[in-house]
Amino acid sequence: MVDRRRFLKNSLAASLFPLIKGCYQSTPWERAAYRKSNHSRVAILPAASYDTPLKNVVLDGIKLFGLRVHGKTVVLKPNLVEYDPAGVINTHPAVISAAIEAFRSLGAREVLVAEGPGHRRDTEYLLTSSGLHAMLKDHQARYVDLSYDDVQLLQLQSRFTNLRQLYFPETVLKADLLVSMPKVKTHHWAGVTLSMKNMFGIVPSAIYGWPKNILHWAGIHESILDINATLPIPQFALVDGIVGMEGNGPIQGDAKPCGVLIFGDDFAAVDATAARLMTIDPMQITYLAKAGEFLGNVTQDRILHIGESLEQFRQDFRVIDSLRHLKTLSA
Amino acid sequence: MIETAITFLLKAQNPDGGWGAHQGKRSNTEATAFALLALRTVGDRSVGASIDRALDWLTERQNMDGSWPLTDQLKPGSWTTALVVLSLAHVGRHEQQALRGANWLLSQEGRDPGWLNSLLYRWAPHRLATRLNPDLKGWPWTPNAFSWVEPTAYALTALKKLRPHVQSALAEDRIRQGELLLYDRMCKGGGWNYGNSVVLGEELPPYPDTTAIALIALHDHQTAEANQLSLQALQHMLTDVESGLTLSWAILCFALYGQDVAAWQQRMARTYDKTGFLGETKTMALALLASRDGAKTFQV
């Protein structure tokens, strides 16, 4: 027979269990993945064209955040996607060149460029056709194809997908600083592609394919969150907004000059700011709205713009019809 | 070019007998399969020991289910299985292991996008984001993913190479479906990209390397209109290409289609002088194949 005291104790435990379990499962991210601070700073610096000297602009942007890179290994992760004769698809080599010079001038031990393109297997073709190969040769900078890097298996630090674990390249994991260098572009599936979506490129294609289809099946927004939540290293974003892309991005859109470089150490805040620059409401972008809960700041009141004001560079980026709901901001 | 490539491959072979994507990187099945095929074209005893070590590396790493993983670190079967099957079939040793690999390939297929996509394709194709026949099954890069052009082309080439030994209704059906899938994914005007010819109503351009690989897989239909159109498209795409990988695949393709490749080989050598092929093992191996009579490797 169950005595009264034991019955009450068991009943209490039974009624509390779902509550405790519910609390425990209320956030789909590990505690270690939480990196949101009270406020984030994002710098917007003017850069009229790729023909103007950009090293000092990049240096100014880095200095605003007091990054200490002396003796460190810095990995620059541009967005290198396709043959791009008009300079609209890929992060422009002039911006990458300026970043190499700037980080070297701050005493970085090595600055290397690394990418794992999503569609193109022929890295040599991408590098030569984009002008990146000649630039890297001039700088004697190393390029690492992340699709073929040695890898480590990491448990994902959030559970927005059901992937649970992914392989990450050792070049990225061993870096002292990872710099996401996307271009400001619309994206026909994700809405925008900026510093967080740019991290798709670090997932090795030799394992996951060209395209990295398994991430698409798992959900693009969800994969962006899981990948960014799992990257353990210090991060910095340097966004090429000198000429962006509007319309049917990330490949077939049209050039949209904005004349800015955007800097920040909170990817979510940088992406939210870039989205506002594009007159796209970041809270309408699924991955950004969710990232704002744990990865960084997305709401305007938590982001301090330093450098120039956002307003003077804001552009009305055209989006495809199915993404019109993102355009709740006006230019 | 030939001597440079041979020297590179012999020097880049890891102590375990395999090759990594670059010298010093962990051995992987893709680089090792291509390096093995390339060294086989050398035909003298100086590379014999290297070939034997490569064969040992590959045959020791076959999974119980017949597949090969990409590296020692990754146990599940991978898309590189087709390349190992092709290389073992061409070398003519370890035939049973090649057949087990072929059977594993026959058990793999691209993910089914679902009945709704099938219905839309039949009744309202304009509602689909991509213009392709979702009912055709080829091969994916990784299990549970969609069928794409390059892994399908590799699997087709390997299965066709072993066709006399894997004759079965299943094998014939998969080969036929794989071919239909490639033709279905062809871009307007000929050629292939990774596997989407139209997305959201916009035509996507073909890639030269993928086009050459697909044409190699379909070279037993070389007089077909689609093949000839794609062959012309490939020549057009190569106008400004400076890449050892793409030029190697293109040379192997042109050779299989009976074209003179001497001028292309010279251009490939000039490209090597500029880029060093980024020190990529597979490109050096393919360049060696393309500089000799490596097209035979893919002949069915």
- Which residues lie closer than 8 Å to A68 by C-beta, 6 or more apart? none
Burial class (CB in 10 A: 0-12, 13-18, 19+), B133: middle
- Which residues lie closer than 8 Å to A137 by C-beta, 6 or more apart? none
| Weakest-pLDDT range from A191-195, A200-204, B9-13, B199-203 | B199-203
Binary contact (A148, B199; C-beta < 8 A)? no
pLDDT confidence bin for A26, thresholds 50/70/90: confident
ipTM above 0.90 for this complex: yes
pLDDT at A5: 62
pLDDT along chain B (300 residues), means of 10: 93 97 95 97 88 96 96 92 96 91 95 81 78 90 92 97 88 96 96 90 91 98 97 94 96 97 96 95 98 92
Out of B21, B150, B240, closest to residue A148 by CB: B21
CB atoms closer than 10 angstroms to residue B198: 16
pLDDT at B201: 82
The closest alpha carbon to A95, from A77, A107, A122, A81, belongs to A77
The closest alpha carbon to A142, from A171, A167, A178, A118, belongs to A171
Q: Touching check for B278 and chain A: CB below 8 Å?
A: yes
In the three-class reduction of DSSP (H, G, I as helix; E, B as strand; rest coil), residue B139 is classed as coil
Task: Determine the residue type at B233.
Answer: A
Binary contact (B242, A148; C-beta < 8 A)? no
The answer on pLDDT for A285 being more than 70 is yes
With a pLDDT cut of 70, the percent of chain A lying above it is: 92
The answer on pLDDT for A25 being more than 70 is no
| CA count, 13 A, side-chain hemisphere, B253 | 30
The closest alpha carbon to B88, from B138, B51, B49, belongs to B51
Two tokens, residue A159: 């559970």
pLDDT top residue among A7 and B182: B182
| Weakest-pLDDT range from A2-16, A43-57, B30-44, B266-280 | A2-16
pLDDT at A19: 45
Q: Touching check for B241 and chain A: CB below 8 Å?
A: yes
pLDDT at A179: 98
Which positions in chain B touch A219 (Cβ < 8 Å)?
Answer: none
| Residue from B127, B139, B275, B277 whose CB has the most chain A CBs within 10 Å, to mutate | B275
Task: Determine the residue type at B227.
Answer: N
pLDDT at B134: 85
Q: Touching check for A135 and chain B: CB below 8 Å?
A: no
A250 cis-preceded (ω within 30 degrees of 0): yes
Q: Which helix (H) or strand (E) element contains residue B155? A: helix B149-161
pLDDT at B118: 78
| Residue from B207, B247, B282 whose CB has the most chain A CBs within 10 Å, to mutate | B207
pLDDT at B130: 79
The closest alpha carbon to B138, from B80, B206, B185, belongs to B185
Taking the CA of residue A160 and the nearest CA in chain B, the distance in Å comes to: 18
pLDDT tens digits for range A265-282: 999 999 999 999 999 999
Model pTM score: 0.92
Q: Nearest 5 degrees, angle CA A148-CA A154-CA A155?
A: 145
